[in-house]
Amino acid sequence: MAKTRPEFQVYNTMTKQKEIFTPKEEGKVGMYVCGVTSYDLSHIGHARAYVAFDVLYRYLRYLDYEVTYVRNFTDVDDKIIRRANEIGEDPKALSGRFCEEFLKDMADLQCLLPTHQPRVTDHMEQIKDMIAQIISNGCAYAVDGDVYFSVDNYPNYGILSGRKLEDNRAGERVAVDGRKRNPADFALWKAAKPGEPLWDSPWGPGRPGWHIECSAMSAQYLTHSFDIHGGGMDLIFPHHENEIAQSCAACSESKVIYWMHNGFVTANDEKMSKSLGNFFTIREVTKLYHPLALRHFLLGTHYRSPVNYSLAQIEIASEAVFYVYQTLQDVDDVLSGLKEESGAGGKPVRISPAAQECITKLRNEFETKLADDLHTPSILNATLQEALRFMNSSLNMLKKKQQKQQLLSIRKSLVDLQKEVKEVLEILGLLSSSSYPEVLQQLKDKALKRAGLTEDDVLHSMEERMLARNNKEFSRSDQIRSDLAAKGIALMDVGKETVWRPCVPVQQDQPAVPVQQDKPTQQENPPMPAQPVVTAADK
């Protein structure tokens, strides 16, 4: 695809509108995304955030920007200390362990490594220096070893969230600290408590508050002014609001040009929480579903819209990924059996007008939709599917008798279209480093695990079905197929051969779509899977 830069529009939480993206420095982008607090395995809410910003990172690089992407680890925090005390583990060891687990999850989800992944405990000097500067500028005060930010001394407090100081009713969930000048003041430095990690400071031994770390580390790697700051919508207040206050109080020239936030994740239409029993870690989901299926599911909703996790939706996403990789594999199989030749008289082979139209549409719609605030659902659920259907149609045409020139044209069309599809998948992070057969087998293995079956079980059922068909016991053969379809295993008759692939589990009282009845049957290519209904943020 051409690497011309389209007019990229992003929604800026600060201005509450979409704006044309213009970086501070031509050709370069600085991006900071708030990372995890490493005290437990990461959940699908984390996956939602980091997949969204991974697509942004990939897209900016596709546009030929030199991107410095910073994503931090909070490796000292109340939650870490509490969890470490509960299980009798050193807090630093516990946080380090879960940092590594997080990186494994990100690798599974095809998220590229950021340029920098700073940890709080490695940046204590930068944090203390920033706190000292805030105090020097009259926006913070020390009391009994603690340091608090004074919101009364920062007139722009609330500029991001739109909240007013009188809206911040402190004390509803936690007791108000009477030493604060204003109940809304927040901690920059916390005095040491018995049994907690501590560092020396001008205000006494202790550790940083939560908010100051991101201000200090973003300034360290991107300077006080940079292009994009991202995170989940739950971070708008108080975390990002406090970051703005701290950073500006430390340096009057501090500025983030674009604030970007992803929407929440619900589970079965309810807020995801451990108390409701609908809280899912990434590891729990990828135990039964391929990580690409989870990524596909997350990208099927616009990053600013809420996304509802359900088994029905992840099943649809899993089938969609299988369809993508089966199509790519089928194209590879056919192309490997066709030699690349010149046309009649040595003339170059041209692709068909229909194929060229499909390629042009894929390229244009891909670039248009991503340039419109990363509108991935339109690409996955329409543009890409149309290209895949065309590829399968071309494959079927190759199986019919064609003149040599037509065969060569179809081959050329498949080669060019596959290249375009792969680039789209690459920028969306859906192109695995594993081979197509490996991904397809992994998807099948996950389907078997969900069904509680082994490959031998399925092969045995296929043999039973064939025997029933030979004996003209079609009700029996249909029932075998339906029983497997109910477990997410679809039997496909391709000529005289029967193969199986994963599918969305089919209710027994419904037709086994896309599985056909056994009298008579033949299907050369699996149909496009059903697509989820998605919502998109207002444009």
* Phi-psi domain of 369 (left: phi exceeds 0; alpha: psi -120 through 50; beta: other): alpha
Mean pLDDT of 288-307: 98
Strands in 186-191's sheet, in edge-to-edge order, are 140-143, 146-149, 186-191, 206-208
Confidence of residue 168 (pLDDT cuts 50, 70, 90): low
Q: Are 422 and 388 in contact (CB under 8 A)?
A: no
Confidence of residue 341 (pLDDT cuts 50, 70, 90): low
Mean pLDDT of 153-182: 77
pLDDT value, residue 166: 67
Confidence of residue 537 (pLDDT cuts 50, 70, 90): very low
Residue 74 has pLDDT above 50, yes or no: yes
Domain map of the chain by residue range? 27-287
pLDDT value, residue 251: 97
Q: Are 51 and 111 in contact (CB under 8 A)?
A: yes
Q: Which residues contact 167 (CB under 8 A, 6 or more apart)?
A: none
User: Which of 156-160, 222-226, 338-342 is least confident?
Assistant: 338-342
Residue 162 has pLDDT above 80, yes or no: yes
> Quick one: the chain helix, strand, coil %, rounded to 5?
45, 15, 40
pLDDT value, residue 340: 60
Tell me the residue length of the chain.
Answer: 539
The share of the chain scoring above pLDDT 90, in percent, equals: 81
The DSSP bridge pattern shows strands 255-262 and 225-232 to be parallel
Cα–Cα distance, 187 to 211 (Å, whole number) = 8
pLDDT value, residue 400: 80
User: Which of 67-81, 99-113, 210-224, 504-518 is least confident?
Assistant: 504-518
Residue in this structure with the two tokens 């929440």, named with its chain if needed: 264
Pick the CATH number of 27-287 from 3.30.70.270, 3.40.50.720, 3.40.50.620, 1.20.120.530: 3.40.50.620
Strand partners for 7: none
Burial class of residue 71, CB neighbours in 10 A (0-12, 13-18, 19+): buried
pLDDT value, residue 526: 43
pLDDT in tens, 480-519: 999 999 999 999 998 889 999 999 999 765 443 333 344 4
Q: Are 72 and 119 in contact (CB under 8 A)?
A: yes
Cα–Cα distance, 538 to 302 (Å, whole number) = 10
Q: Are 205 and 193 in contact (CB under 8 A)?
A: no
Burial class of residue 192, CB neighbours in 10 A (0-12, 13-18, 19+): middle
Mean pLDDT of 181-208: 96
Cα–Cα distance, 141 to 148 (Å, whole number) = 6
Mean pLDDT of 116-139: 98
pLDDT in tens, 151-161: 999 999 999 99
Confidence of residue 408 (pLDDT cuts 50, 70, 90): confident
